[in-house]
A and B are shown apart, each in its own frame.
Chain A
Amino acid sequence: MSKILIVDDSRTSRKILRTLLEEAGHEIVAEAENGQDGVEKYKEFKPEVTTLDITMPVMDGLEALKLIKEFDSSAKVIMVTAAGQQNKMVEAIKVGASEFVTKPFEKDNILKLIEKM
C-alpha cells in the first residue's frame, strides 16, 4: 500500500484515479488541481508516490516536476497525460519522472506501475 498524491486539473480524472487506487488498497493523502498546488501539497504531505498530469493551468506538470525534484530528488513521480504528448514525456523523463501513463486510465497498467515503485 502506498501513500499517493494526485495532481490533475480534471476532477473527473482525479475521481477515477482515486477510486481505482483506493479499491486497490492505496491511500490518497491529498489531491491538487494544478502544478503549483501540487508542489505545495507534496511538501506538506511527502507522499510515497505522486501522479502528475502534464497539461494543467497555473503551472503545468513539467514545471511542477522540476520543483518537486529540486525539493526531493528521490521523489517518485508518475506523469499522466493524454496520448500524443511524446515530446513532453521525453522531457519529463529527463527531469526525473519515474514512469508515465496515458489517459484514459488503464487500471492494470497503473496498479503495476505503483507496485513497481
Chain B
Amino acid sequence: MIDKLLGAYFLEKGKLSPEQIKQIEQVQAQVRVKLGLIAVSEKLMTNEQADEVNRLQSVMDKRFGDIAVEKGYLTEDQVSRLLGLQGNGYLSFVQTVIDNGMMALHEIEEGLIDYQKENGFTASDIDALKSDDPDRIVPLFLPQDIDKYQKEHILGAFRAVTRLICNGACVSKAYKAESMKTNAFASQGLDGEKKASLTFVGEGNNLNAIADKFAGETFEEVDLDSLDAVAEFINCINGMYATKVAPDLNVDMLPPAYKAEACELTGDMIVLPIYIGDKKVELVSTFGQIVNY
C-alpha cells in the first residue's frame, strides 16, 4: 500500500507526473499476482484447490495462505516462499521509479522521510506501511481511541475489500464526523449487545467499483440494483464480523438498507476513505449505535 501512498504524495509534491503514476500503476498491477496463481504456476496446488481456497476466502475472514495451510494444500514454508515470489509492493515501486529514470533512489528515500514527518509516522509505522499487511497498515490511519470491536469491524471490511473487490485497494487517514451528506449509500445495522453499522458512500458512480466486482456485472449508474449489490457485500462483511466476535458479543444482523437520493447520515461516525483503483469510496462505521439516515 505504501506504493500507492507514496505515489500520491510524490504527485502532490510535483516529483511525479500523472502519466508516470499511471505507468507505475500498470507495472504494479502486473506485479500483484494473486498467491493462488503463483501456487498453481509453481505446481504446488491444482487449479481446483486454488479455486476452492478462493471460494472459501469469500466466506472466511482469512488469508489465502492460511486457508491453504489449514486444508493441507501448502506448508507454512511453501507459503513463505510464495509470498517471496509475489514480491513486495514498496520494493517494486522503488524499482519501477528508478528503472524508468523518474526519480533517483536518494530522492525517494528523502521523500519517504518527508512523508513520514508530515504524517507523524514513526519508523516502525513506516515498516508496517512497507509490509503490505492490512492488519498492520489500516490501524495507522484510524483514531487512537477507537474501540477494539469497531477497529476489528473496519479491519474486517478492508480485508474483504482487498480479497473480494481489489487487492491493490488503499486507504487514507480516517476522520470522525457527526453528519455526512451523500447522494447514495448502502448500509447494514447490527443489533444486539453492541449495536454497530457499516455503510459505504461514494460520489458519482464510485460505489459501482464495489457493485460491479461483487455482483459480477457492469452497472451503468448507481441505482437501486447496484446499491443492492453493495449492501450484499456489506452483509457478507458483517457475517464474518459476527462470526469473529461471537464468543464475546451476540450480534444480530438487520436487513440491509440503501438509497440512491440526496440524504444525510448522522451519528458518531468514523469515516475511512478507501481507494479502489482510481475510485474513492468511504466506509462509515458506527459503534454503540446504528447510523441514522
Contacts and interface: CB of A to CB of B under 8 A. Distances in A.
Interface string B207-228: 0000000111000000011001
A103 B235 contact: yes
A12 B241 CA distance: 21
A10 B246 contact: no
B236 interface: yes
A57 B255 contact: yes
B50 interface: no
B55 A16 contact: no
A84 B255 contact: no
A83 B236 contact: yes
Nearest to A8: B232
B217 to A, nearest CB: 8
A86 B246 contact: yes
Interface residues of B, number: 29
Interface in B177-236: 214-216, 224-225, 228-229, 231-232, 235-236
Interface in A34-91: 55-57, 81-87
A12 B229 contact: yes
Contacts of A15: 215
Contacts of B214: 12
A83 B59 CA distance: 7
Contacts of B235: 10, 55, 82, 103
B2 to A, nearest CB: 30
A31 interface: no
Given A84-B242, A102-B239, A12 B215 contact: yes
Interface string A15-28: 11000000000000
Interface residues of A, number: 21
Nearest to A103: B236
Interface string B3-32: 000000000000000000000000000000
Contacts of B240: 82-84
A11 B241 CA distance: 23
B239 A85 contact: yes
Nearest to A9: B255
A85 B242 contact: yes
A82 B214 CA distance: 14
Contacts of A83: 59-60, 236, 239-240, 242-243
24 contacts: A10-B228, A10-B231, A10-B256, A11-B225, A13-B232, A16-B215, A16-B216, A55-B256, A82-B236, A82-B238, A82-B239, A82-B242, A83-B236, A83-B242, A84-B240, A84-B242, A84-B243, A84-B244, A84-B246, A85-B242, A102-B59, A103-B59, A103-B239, A106-B59
Interface of A: 9-13, 15-16, 55-57, 81-87, 102-104, 106
